[in-house]
Structure 1
């Protein structure tokens, strides 16, 4: 089991509230799509395809879902809005299970290997530093000692924001002067964590524009320098994406997975958008675990992504 993966009623309520805009939009569109219909026909399927694509599920994933619905339609001919939501919920849950065999769990930190190093990547503005702060809070709450590394040395605001989070959570932040070599900061952070027997190190990196290959190469340099003091570092490369950007999040995921070895994803800002379907498409298309979703500004509003609970919240709640 991973850390922080217990799904409480409070977390379910937060998930329901965070996905409300997406749910209301999808529900209203589905209701209109089947108005006056008594069975799933070509028109319903065409409308459903459009609904899923405009909810940023993605074309490939949408077509896969439609094929599954077509098969169900052969036996489940009569349908209303509630029944269609139930079918969608079931088929999407199965699809996600097939492509990502188990529910993602929070990062597992082994007691035999210290420190566990997480390098966090993503473009500016996606909520990367905030995600780091919330992760640090959850690790500390779980009894782990945490160090943060401010390797985004190109923006004073990025370092300052990480320092604020460090003070808020009560964990040390390793930093250098502005313009310093980011790999040097990462090296210092891992070295300090080793010297103090810390459990976890989370490294913030610059919000690199995903179309600049030279800047991406620097991520490789950071990784290689950290390996000089911790052979398995980084243990995880977490890509943070802004769910509210819809298809742009797909493009960022594509470019980052080509440029560096991403092992996990966190999708943020789902509470302020009707584009929550992007989680389904990204989880399906990239076969990289979406481990966390951001559902608000609060320190507790970063949740482990649980597929069943997510789909239930999105397509009709209790069953």
Structure 2
């Protein structure tokens, strides 16, 4: 692990890669691992996004929790595999990568998982294996069932300004996802239900552009955008297994979130003792939209573990 020369102030960080089979997983550690408090491992969304939009979580290292960011295989600083068939990209692949990462970084006996969006069900599935070193689980803005997610997307789209939903449907039927008209209609949805800040924060734009530059994983598992899931995840659900999670769990969502209450509720209802915090002025990214309250909620949860 080599020091990051751009790191400033009280938050030393280090970057590197760990082997994952014949591939490499890129990571960044902020703070000091093994210094007394469990590491918080941030698991980004997508699938096929990058760690960038979750970088503000590094502030938690100021309070003593080292923070691990990583890019999932296929994106960012990890090995890109644009020629792999869609059946290569599976939930099991990313579960294996996560387990490998915590082992290789030496935190498998003391860590907390923070899973945002797609990272939420991924972390929940990891927690179902009852890892002895997993101290806590945060499921942020995440679906437990993609069929329910799709139902809610259809409802939210129908509530967009007149003509917007029709524009989306027309281009989806034609497959013209890169047309300016379609992208403009897509942005209307994103500004309501994904990120309500204007302009979009740099970290979020960075992850957005990373997907654009290599959409291999995103297209294979999700689809062309947040609300048109036609990839391999479209029928995936973990609802029936959530009751097997025994890890202390915090559930997070935004009042205007594309992850609506119907999407998020199974985590709260089915994981024993799960706590649910709703951010009233946020959509899909409370850590960017309400950073101070987000930090308070996270710190309170972590202190209670």
TM-score category of the 2 structures, normalised to the smaller one:
0.3 to 0.5
**Whose RCO is larger (CA < 8 A, sep 6+)?**
1
Q: Which structure carries more helix by proportion?
A: 1
Which protein is bigger by CA-based radius of gyration?
Answer: 1
Which structure is higher in strand share? 2
Taking structure 2 as the reference length, what is the TM-score of the superposition?
0.33
Instruction: Give the alignment's TM-score, normalised by structure 1.
Output: 0.32
